[in-house]
Amino acid sequence: MLAPGVCFGATAAMYFVRTLALRRLGDLSRRTVRRVDDLVVRMLHKTYLVCLLAIGVYLGSIFVAMPEHWRLVVSRVVA
């Protein structure tokens, strides 16, 4: 149960940080005339939940307990 918890927790944390950053940077970009602020806000706004979920799945997969013979097979397939 550790791996799904890490996956869900990491995805929720990244979504929360994204929302907080969007709100703060959006307020900042409205007060300034620099275009860099607007670009960063647009880039963060286009970050989809699926991307955050994929990163969360990867972080959760680190905590998956596999038998030793599976690790050998996976390490040969991935490498």
**37-76 pLDDT tens trace:** 888 888 888 888 899 999 999 899 888 887 888 878 877 8
Q: Is 55:10 a contact under the CB 8 Å cutoff?
A: yes
pLDDT grade for 79, boundaries at 50, 70 and 90: low
What is the C-alpha separation between 45 and 65, in angstroms, rounded? Answer: 35
- Please indicate whether residue 11 or residue 36 has the higher confidence score (pLDDT): 11
Long-range contacts of 30-37 (CB under 8 A, 24+ apart): none
